[in-house]
Structure 1
Amino acid sequence: MRVAIAGAGAVGRSIAGELLENGHEVLLIDKAPDAIKVDSVPQAEWLLADACEISSLDEAALQRCNVVIAATGDDKVNLVVSLLAKTEYGVPRVVARVNNPKNEWLFNEAWGVDVAVSTPRLMSALVEEAVSVGDLVRLMRFSQGDANLVELTLPSDTGLVGTRVGDVVWPEDTALVTIIREGRVLVPSKDDALEAGDELLFVAAPHREEELEQLLSVR
């Protein structure tokens, strides 16, 4: 998979390193000469250019990319890169970094964003996830399809403990995708029984989150 990353700062370089370790082809783009630190990620391709310019993206051959990641520290730049990647080059998957939570509402399909990653929101969600039992925690928003990745740790006093996954009437527009139990990641089947302390990960429509939380926390 070929991935272009706009923004070669610490975040962009870290993402590049992870992707390269997983066998992907990575191009890092940045307009600041001091950000071009080839020795830091020597296996990546590097391009000194403005990712907001069509000529730069032509040079980067963005049409050959499977994924574009807008990872700069400027939300305006990330939105422009996302929009160009999607509308001008037809990139199948666009992921954008949200630096200011106040701008999160802009990072949607209209701006070409498939997945918006808000660092402040994610850090807050991880703190909540670590201390919350029985409360639904939103981890990530998927702009395309208007859905969120949400998590709930099943409390011991809920009536669903011991219930088979296939016997639960889940709300519409929700899907249980993973159960994390005692450090193991389980792909749920209809015959798996829910246990107290299970971390349940769902993809759910925002308007179904309250209904889902009520179902899982019912005493």
Structure 2
Amino acid sequence: MYVIVVGGGKVGFYLTQSLLSDGHEVLLIERDSAKVDSFNEQLGSVTIAGDGAEASTLAAAGAARADVVVAVTGEDEDNLVICQMAKQKFHVGRTIARVNNPKNEQLFRVLGIDVTVSQTNYILHIIEQAIPERSFVHLLSLTHGDLAIVEAKITDHSAVVHRSIGEISLPENTAISAISRGPRLIVPTPATELLPGDDIIALAHREQEDELRRLLV
């Protein structure tokens, strides 16, 4: 599957890393050239500099052959334009837009965006699940709901704290793709030790989320 991700913030970076870990072809579009250089050092040459809301940038990214376009910039207007252009000009089969203002979510759906992702909805979801201190968060569903990007915070009481990733028996079809440790963003290896306070980004099949939650938190 070829996925174009537009927006190199936290969500965009983690999403790109997770999809790459799962074997997909991914291209990340980011306006900030300094970020592009940093991401390419960490991920390989999978990031280009440009404005994803411009047709020329999407064309250069190969949108005509993309299976999915994901717009996760900080601006709802840009995310809408990106997804509509991907649909109408490049005939992309599936578009996913981050919605920063929940009031725009219904509008995005009316205008043909396949999936909307609202940060506020994440918070509501956390409250409904009564998860203390955002210990485990469902970030995003992918590929018609079969895959999910989740975030978990390692605490002093986590069963996996001070263990290396290679020592942990992760559920089948799951992978830890990134670790946020203070100001550092770590692409983990089997030797990477999990420490208290680490924010873990993992890719998992939806049916494995509960098992992964029990293991990490």
Which TM-score tier does this pair reach, normalised by the shorter chain?
Answer: 0.5 to 0.7
2:100 match: 99
Aligned residues of 1:67 and 1:93 also touching (Cα < 8 A): yes
Q: Given residue 91 of structure 1, which amino acid in structure 2 is its aligned partner?
A: V
2:194 match: none
1:56 match: 57
1:79 match: 80
Post-superposition shift, 1:34?
Answer: 2.9
In structure 1, list runs of 5 or more residues that go unmatched: 132-138, 143-177, 185-219
Q: Answer with 1 or 2: which has the greater Rg.
A: 1
Post-superposition shift, 1:28?
Answer: 0.5
Cα distance per residue 1:48-77 (max 9 Å; x no partner): 111111111111110111110001011110
Post-superposition shift, 1:46?
Answer: 1.4
Post-superposition shift, 1:183?
Answer: 4.5
Are the structure 2 counterparts of residues 66 and 109 from structure 1 closer, same or farther at C-alpha, using a change threshold of 3 Å?
Answer: farther
TM-score (norm 2): 0.58
Q: Given residue 2 of structure 1, which amino acid in structure 2 is its aligned partner?
A: Y
Aligned residues of 1:25 and 1:44 also touching (Cα < 8 A): no
1:23 match: 23
Alpha-carbon separation, structure 2, partners of 1:117 and 1:44: 27
Aligned residues of 1:3 and 1:25 also touching (Cα < 8 A): yes
Alpha-carbon separation, structure 1, partners of 2:129 and 2:92: 33
SS at match of 2:74: coil
Q: Given residue 88 of structure 1, which amino acid in structure 2 is its aligned partner?
A: K
SS at match of 1:16: helix
Aligned residues of 1:20 and 1:44 also touching (Cα < 8 A): no
Alpha-carbon separation, structure 1, partners of 2:110 and 2:65: 21
1:174 match: none
Number of aligned residue pairs: give it. 141
1:120 match: 120
SS at match of 1:12: helix
Post-superposition shift, 1:44?
Answer: 5.1
Cα distance per residue 1:155-182 (max 9 Å; x no partner): xxxxxxxxxxxxxxxxxxxxxxx989x8
Aligned residues of 1:9 and 1:35 also touching (Cα < 8 A): no
Alpha-carbon separation, structure 2, partners of 1:179 and 1:94: 23
Post-superposition shift, 1:123?
Answer: 2.0
Identical residues among aligned pairs (%): 37
1:67 aligns with 2:68: yes
SS at match of 1:108: helix
Moved over 3 A (4+): none
Are the structure 2 counterparts of residues 27 and 102 from structure 1 closer, same or farther at C-alpha, using a change threshold of 3 Å?
Answer: same
Alpha-carbon separation, structure 2, partners of 1:41 and 1:107: 33
Q: Given residue 103 of structure 1, which amino acid in structure 2 is its aligned partner?
A: N
SS at match of 2:28: strand
Q: Given residue 32 of structure 2, which amino acid in structure 1 is its aligned partner?
A: A
Alpha-carbon separation, structure 1, partners of 2:55 and 2:207: 43
Alpha-carbon separation, structure 1, partners of 2:57 and 2:101: 26
Q: Given residue 5 of structure 1, which amino acid in structure 2 is its aligned partner?
A: V
Alpha-carbon separation, structure 1, partners of 2:121 and 2:85: 25
Tell me the C-alpha RMSD between the 2 structures. 2.8
1:33 aligns with 2:33: yes
TM-score (norm 1): 0.57
Post-superposition shift, 1:38?
Answer: 2.6
Q: Given residue 26 of structure 2, which amino acid in structure 1 is its aligned partner?
A: V
